[in-house]
Amino acid sequence: MYIESNILFIFGIPLWVLIRIIINIVRYRKRKPLSIKRELLLSVFYYYILCVLGVTLFPLILFWGDIYGSYASVNVLPVYTTVKDIIYTCSNSPISDFMVRFWIRNILGNLILLFPLGILLPLLWDKFRNIRTATVFGFFTSLSIEVIQLLSMLIGNRGRTFDIDDIILNTAGAFLGALLLNRIMRIRKHKRVHD
C-alpha cells in the first residue's frame, strides 16, 4: 500500500477550517473578541505541522507480507555515524558529488525542519517565550517524530530511519528559531523604549 502526504491536506485543511469556524462562533456568542492576527498565526502553525508530518512520515509505503524481511535502520551514536558516512562517500564513492549534495541537503533540511517551531510557539503561547522551553519542546517533537518513524518501520513502512543526529539537528533548529525571535523581540522592545 502506498499513501501520499496529500491525504493530510485533503482531510486536514477542511477539518481545520470547520473547527475554527465552530470555535469562533462559540466565542462570538460568548462575546469574546476575535483576533485576526492570532487566527492567522494559528492557521500558519497548523499548516506548518501538516507539512512537517508530510515530510517526516509520508509517503507511507506498507509491505504487509514481508515485515520480517525488512530491517530497521537505527543510529544512536551522535555525530559519529554521520561524519563517518560523509568521509567514506567523499573519498571512496564514484558518486561522491551526489552524496555531498545529499548530506548538505539532509543536514540543512533537519536544521530547517523545526526552525519555524521555535518561532511560532513563542508567538502563540507565552509559556514558550523562554528559549529553553521552546528548545525542549523542539527536542520532544523531534524525538516523537523519530519514534513514530521507527514504529512505522516495524509495521512495514520502508525507507524510514531512527537517527539521533536528526534529533540533534532538529532541536538545534528549534533553538535557533527561538533565539532569533527572542533577539528580534528584544530589539523591538529596545526601540520602543528609546522612541
pLDDT tens-place string over residues 66-100: 545 455 678 888 888 878 877 777 776 676 777 77
Question: Could you give the angle at the alpha carbon of 182 between the alpha carbons of 175 and 123, nearest 5°?
Answer: 90
Classified as helix, coil or strand, 105 is helix
Cell numbers standing for residue 195: 522612541
- Length of the chain as a residue count: 195
**Average pLDDT of every residue of the chain:** 88
Is the pLDDT assigned to residue 186 strictly greater than 90?
A: yes
Cell numbers standing for residue 177: 528559531
Question: Could you give the angle at the alpha carbon of 51 between the alpha carbons of 2 and 160, nearest 5°?
Answer: 45
> How high is the pLDDT of residue 64?
60
Cα 142 from Cα 145, distance rounded (Å):
5
> How high is the pLDDT of residue 84?
81
User: E strands of 69-119, at which residues?
Assistant: 73-75
Average of per-residue pLDDT across 156-175: 90
Q: Which amino acid type is present at position 37? A: K
Cα 173 from Cα 22, distance rounded (Å):
34
Cell numbers standing for residue 172: 538545534
Average of per-residue pLDDT across 21-47: 95
DSSP 8-state symbol, 162 = E
C-alpha separations of 66 from 73, 150, 157, 168 in Å: 16, 16, 10, 32
pLDDT interval class at 118 (50, 70, 90): very high
Q: What percent of the chain clears pLDDT 70, i.e. is strictly above it?
A: 91
Is the pLDDT assigned to residue 27 strictly greater than 60?
A: yes
Other C-beta atoms lying within 10 Å of the C-beta of residue 83: 12
User: What φ, ψ does residue 157 adopt, rounded to 5°?
Assistant: -80, 105
pLDDT interval class at 51 (50, 70, 90): very high
> How high is the pLDDT of residue 79?
87
Cell numbers standing for residue 31: 462575546
